Structures are given as structure tokens and as C-alpha cells.
């Protein structure tokens, strides 16, 4: 994935797992060193609840926030995505 080509890709659970595998552990390790244990939160995008995705989190010992589908607790993540996209396009 060069530059921002991944924005043009169709995201299936294999692409999602590859992105997680490449980027999430180093970021989570740094956060855990700074603030301690944390939970990872994802919404119900079609690749998030895939069995292989859940297995990746289990294999990497990353705890997931437990919530109901379409939970109002997920609204804050939408604001985070908007902020992230804005920074990426700058």
C-alpha cells in the first residue's frame, strides 16, 4: 500500500486485518506504556465482527470494548474518524 492507495481499496476483512497487523500493535504498545491498559473500540462495519477479525484481536491479546450493535456509545468514534480524515487530507 503506497501513499494513500488504501483509501481506494475495497475493504474486506483481510485488508482490515492487514491494516490492524501493520499499524495497531505499535500504537497500542506506546499508549499502554503511557497510560496503562486500554480497550479497543470498533463499530459494526461489516468486516469488524468477522470471525477472523475477532481471532486476530484474541491472538494479539487486544481487549475489545463490549457493546451492543448500534450502541449510542459509538457516536464518539465518528467524531474521531472525522478528525483523522481531516488531518490526513491536510
Cell of 72: 449510542
> How far is Cα 53 from Cα 13, in angstroms, rounded to an integer?
7
Specify the pTM.
0.62
Domain ranges of the chain: 5-89
5-89 CATH: 3.30.420.10
pLDDT tens-digit readout, 67-80? 665 555 556 666 77
Q: What is the pLDDT of residues 1-55, one digit of tens each?
A: 455 565 666 778 888 899 899 999 999 889 889 988 888 888 777 777 788 888 9
Amino acid at each position: 500500500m503506497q501513499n494513500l492507495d488504501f483509501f481506494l481499496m475495497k475493504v474486506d476483512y483481510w485488508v482490515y486485518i492487514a491494516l490492524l497487523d501493520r499499524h495497531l500493535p505499535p500504537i497500542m504498545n506506546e499508549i499502554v506504556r503511557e497510560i496503562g491498559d486500554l480497550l479497543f473500540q470498533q463499530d459494526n462495519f461489516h468486516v469488524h465482527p468477522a470471525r477472523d477479525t475477532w481471532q486476530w484481536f484474541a491472538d494479539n491479546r487486544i481487549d475489545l470494548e463490549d457493546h451492543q450493535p448500534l450502541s449510542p456509545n459509538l457516536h464518539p468514534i465518528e467524531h474521531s474518524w472525522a478528525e483523522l480524515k481531516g488531518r490526513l487530507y491536510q
